[in-house]
Amino acid sequence: MTRCRILTVGWGKAMAPVDWREDLEDWLAPLLAEMGHKKRRMWAPVYLQGLIGRGER
């Protein structure tokens, strides 16, 4: 199932597919800024994508 974001275009609205990874990056940005260790900032998004994404764990 693909999520969509409603975009206002002119007089109507259009549906555009949303890449959840972009939303995750936006959501994580302030949290990553507070992490002190460089490796934690680098691997936190990868770890969370593994937990959230499709596929086997």
pLDDT at 34: 92
**How many domains, the chain?**
1
CB atoms within 10 A of CB 32: 14
Q: Which domain holds residue 40?
A: 19-57
Task: Give the contacts of 5 (CB within 8 A, at least 6 positions apart).
Answer: 15, 16, 17, 18
Per-residue pLDDT band for 29 (boundaries 50, 70, 90) equals: very high
Reported pTM: 0.56
Please report the pLDDT score of residue 14 as a whole number. Answer: 55
Give the per-residue pLDDT at 9.
53
Q: Is the pLDDT of residue 46 over 60?
A: yes
Residue 9 lies in a domain: no
Is residue 31 one of the residues assigned to a domain?
A: yes
* Residue 57, SS3 per DSSP: coil
φ, ψ of residue 19 to 5 degrees: the values are: -90, 115
pLDDT of residue 43: 93
Identify the pLDDT of residue 30. 93
Residue 1 placed within a domain: no
Decide if 15 contacts 7 (C-beta within 8 A): yes
